[in-house]
Structure 1
Amino acid sequence: MASVLIIGSGAREFIFAQTFSQTVDEIFIAPGNDGMRAAGFETVNLTDIADLIDFAKEKDIDLTLVGAENLLMQGIVDQFEAEGLNIFGPTQAAAQLEGSKSFSKDILERYQIPTASATTVDSLTPAIDVLKAHPYPVVVKLDGLALGKGVSIYENQAEALEAVRAIYEQEPTATLVIEEFMEGPEFSIFSFVGKNQVLHTPTAQDHKRLLDQDKGPNTGGMGAYSPVRWLDDAIVQQAINTLVQPVLDAMQVEGHPFQGILYTGVMLTPAGPKVIEYNVRFGDPEAQVVLPQLKSDLFKTLQDLLAGVPTEMSWQTEDVYLGVTLAAPGYPIQPEHGTVVPTNLGTDIALDYAGVKNISGQLVSHGGRVATAVLHRPTMALAQKDLYQALDAEKTHLVYRHDIGYQAVEAEQLEGE
């Protein structure tokens, strides 16, 4: 009887559990959330690495998968492996690709992997010098883990200087990466990386800004869709050849071989695909629209990748999957708790729960992003129509965008002309 431990508490971990449940008998999620419990999954209230190791030993867990990034940066993979436990994810050293933007940018530059030109600074005076000489808009990234919200774009010098002065008032030795603003459509490539083999998922595109038309503050992600059909296969392959494989080769040379799930954020610039950033785990909300497309056995695939056994993944090709994030009022600044969360939007709309709490038998918001509503249809126009019709009929007080997948709809319209 196979057993899996999933570490995390968001909608990404929820869909991992749903995917594993097709072939795995025993699934534990730590710490999980009340929505997962309502769906019948067993959650365990553990977050400390030592406690998770004890639990994995006690339950004789066959495979552990880490959903969120913070424990990866703390070296959970190294510690599990030292205890002889099977875990799929990068070591602490390899996790620096996401955990340190300066580390990542250094790898990109030294190995000549296409990306935005950048300067790294660690005090106010050089930061001011760089910003005064820089063309605008400019991108400023906080080094370290920022949970998807550590990137700011400033339209002019006055705005940038004010923001950077505020950062250094709070933290006089903060490391910032100041980089060129790139333009073009974005997409994401997710790669399952094992011993001597790499498997890629269908492409996805997420929507970071809070409001329609990509306005408002950056968030952890307000929705996504997959596959990105308007991308030529040749462009995707070019991105894999020039952005994904080279960084895996570089990490090998650096003595930090990467194993786990690599997210490559790509911008399709006039000069070709360039790296926006790397993450060392599956994206959220992208996981919620990519994983339901998997037709093969995820548990067997990950076991094979860890063991170095040749393996493959098979994916559906008929439909496009659309996921819309439902967030608490006030997100991302000050999310309100207690807003009622839908539990049924129709038989063909999945709800992957995140920041929710069960109060008197009712799920309510207890975090920023509370659920992802996911539906699939043959076209994006149809998926948008049906999903938004169901969401609007719910008359929920939760916050959501009304235009997720707009680039795909525009591409379908152009194709139909």
Structure 2
Amino acid sequence: MAKVLIVGSGAREHALAQTFLRSSIVSQVYVAPGNDGMTDENLVRLDIQANATTALIETVKNNHIDLTFVGNEEPLTLGIVDCFQEAGLTIFGPNAVAAQLEGSKDFTKSLLHKYHIPTANSATVTSLTAAQSTLSKFGLPIVFKLDGLALGKGVTIINDVAQAEDYLSDVYTRDAAAKLVIEEYLDGVEFSIFSLVGENGVVTHAPIAQDHKRRFDGDKGPNTGGMGAYSPVRWLSDAVRDRAISELVMPTIAAMANEGTPFIGVLYTGVMLTQDGPKVIEFNVRFGDPEAQVVLPQLTSDFYQLIMDLLNGNQPVAEWQDSDVYVGVVLAAAGYPQAPIKGAKVPTADEITPLIINFAGVKAGVASGGRVATVVAHDMNTTLAQQKVYNKLDQLGTDLQYRHDIAYQAIQHEVK
């Protein structure tokens, strides 16, 4: 029997742990550091931070752990995969160079432009003067992306010239040499593709998902790490998905290999379906959160075997359910994302049953961070799945905050 280590602490990592625990091959899953809500049978939390690479390596050796799966982006961009490989340990994820697909927006845009992979027109600047002179090139709305990791909140969309000037002034007051990607605004339908990529270019793709970044109903308010998601997105055709994979995902995987930096791990492709076809918005180098919480429960084949096949360069068997839609709603602390208020009681798994709950910012049964948990329901269509999750949440009377319209796009198509 195999042992698996998940690196990370949030609801995504909880979903990953639960998926590995469904494997007939896996006897134990460790999560480092995890959180207090992770009390599943055969799940062990380790008091080791995700960036404590040396301690993680020693733990893997001492506990004879067979596979490490990195859940969040920061350890990947810092080179955890390189360190594990140097130590002769099995780990799934991109090395530090390949992780630049998320770690550097400039790296990504340069790669996309070089290989003529459809994306928004853009320019990268490193001074206030250059940024100001670029403003007029792309019109309004205009998109600003600070280079580097931003935990899902590094994108700013501005509709007004004066506001754009204020934004730039603020950025370059804080850092006179800030690297900023400025790009045209893409209008259309946004969705996410998760591709699991192995050695020798073997790849398999998960069902597509849509997440909801804005804090409030109707896509109002500030951007967050994600307030909910649903999958599959049935109202987008298989032809759209297949075109995005063939024109965006596979050429990017090939481009990385051609550059001498082959990508291995989870490639998250954020896609905008425009009037001109699908275009890349962004890449992440790990599962999204909360998308993972609605995608991973759909896997009906063995996750551990899938990952090991990828690492060995063998085309894996990946089977996904196709009867239901999964809807996940994020519970957040009041004041999130600007100033989360800690201390609200968090529902237990028993209170949520028979629905799925994945815990994030939880300590001693109360909220200890911004996003606290994701509650997931599934049913034969989106309308029924949404009703199921909100019926449960509304019964709780919780002080935690949540949107009330997750998956509204799909429901609009179902009621037509």
> Would you say same fold, with TM above 0.5?
yes
Aligned to 2:344: 339
- Offset of 1:285 from its aligned partner? 0.2
Give yes or no for contact 1:191–1:200 (8 Å, CA) kept in 2: yes
1:92-127 CA-to-partner distances (Å, cap 9, x unmatched) read 000000000000000010100001000100111000
Aligned to 1:14: 14
Q: What SS is found at the alignment partner of 2:400?
A: coil
Match of 1:407 among 390, 406, 409: 409
Give yes or no for contact 1:100–1:144 (8 Å, CA) kept in 2: yes
- Offset of 1:203 from its aligned partner? 0.6
Q: Does 1:377 align with 2:374?
A: no
Q: Does 1:123 align with 2:137?
A: no
Which residue identity lines up with residue 71 of structure 1 in the other structure? P
Query: In 1, distance between residues paired with 2:161 and 2:7?
Result: 42
Give yes or no for contact 1:132–1:157 (8 Å, CA) kept in 2: no
1:385-410 CA-to-partner distances (Å, cap 9, x unmatched) read 12112111211111100000001001
Give yes or no for contact 2:28–2:42 (8 Å, CA) kept in 1: no
Q: Runs of 5+ in structure 1 lacking a partner?
A: none
- Offset of 1:133 from its aligned partner? 4.3
Aligned to 1:221: 226
Q: What SS is found at the alignment partner of 2:37?
A: helix
Aligned to 2:354: 348
Query: In 2, distance between residues paired with 1:276 and 1:163?
Result: 21
> Number of matched residues?
410
Aligned to 1:269: 274
1:116-153 CA-to-partner distances (Å, cap 9, x unmatched) read 00010011100011114441000000000001000000
TM-score, scaled to structure 1? 0.97
Runs of 4+ with deviation above 2 angstroms = 37-41, 344-348
Q: What SS is found at the alignment partner of 1:25?
A: strand
Q: Does 1:2 align with 2:7?
A: no
Q: What SS is found at the alignment partner of 1:3?
A: strand
1:247-396 pair list within 5 angstroms: 247-343=252-348, 344-358=350-364, 363-396=365-398
Query: In 2, distance between residues paired with 1:64 and 1:80?
Result: 9
1:100-179 pair list within 5 angstroms: 100-179=104-183
1:331-381 CA-to-partner distances (Å, cap 9, x unmatched) read 0011111001111444321110000011xxxx1100010000000010111
Query: In 1, distance between residues paired with 2:41 and 2:290?
Result: 19
Query: In 2, distance between residues paired with 1:348 and 1:241?
Result: 38
Query: In 1, distance between residues paired with 2:353 and 2:290?
Result: 21
Query: In 2, distance between residues paired with 1:290 and 1:328?
Result: 24
- Offset of 1:52 from its aligned partner? 0.5
- Offset of 1:3 from its aligned partner? 0.4
Q: What SS is found at the alignment partner of 2:389?
A: helix
Give yes or no for contact 2:203–2:315 (8 Å, CA) kept in 1: no
Aligned to 1:187: 191
Which residue identity lines up with residue 357 of structure 2 in the other structure? L
Q: What SS is found at the alignment partner of 1:178?
A: strand
Match of 1:88 among 65, 85, 92: 92
Give yes or no for contact 2:29–2:42 (8 Å, CA) kept in 1: no
Alpha-carbon RMSD across the aligned residues, in angstroms, is: 1.0
Give yes or no for contact 2:358–2:374 (8 Å, CA) kept in 1: yes
- Offset of 1:26 from its aligned partner? 1.2
Q: What SS is found at the alignment partner of 2:38?
A: helix
- Offset of 1:310 from its aligned partner? 2.7
Query: In 2, distance between residues paired with 1:252 and 1:372?
Result: 36
Give yes or no for contact 2:199–2:313 (8 Å, CA) kept in 1: yes
Match of 2:101 among 97, 107, 115: 97
Match of 1:233 among 223, 235, 238: 238
1:302-335 CA-to-partner distances (Å, cap 9, x unmatched) read 0111011232200100000000000000100111
Query: In 1, distance between residues paired with 2:312 and 2:138?
Result: 48
Which residue identity lines up with residue 375 of structure 2 in the other structure? A
Query: In 2, distance between residues paired with 1:63 and 1:100?
Result: 27
Match of 1:75 among 73, 79, 95: 79
1:265-310 CA-to-partner distances (Å, cap 9, x unmatched) read 0011010100010000000000000000000010011011101123
Give yes or no for contact 2:94–2:263 (8 Å, CA) kept in 1: yes
TM-score, scaled to structure 2? 0.97
Q: Runs of 5+ in structure 2 lacking a partner?
A: none
Which residue identity lines up with residue 18 of structure 1 in the other structure? Q
Which residue identity lines up with residue 274 of structure 1 in the other structure? K
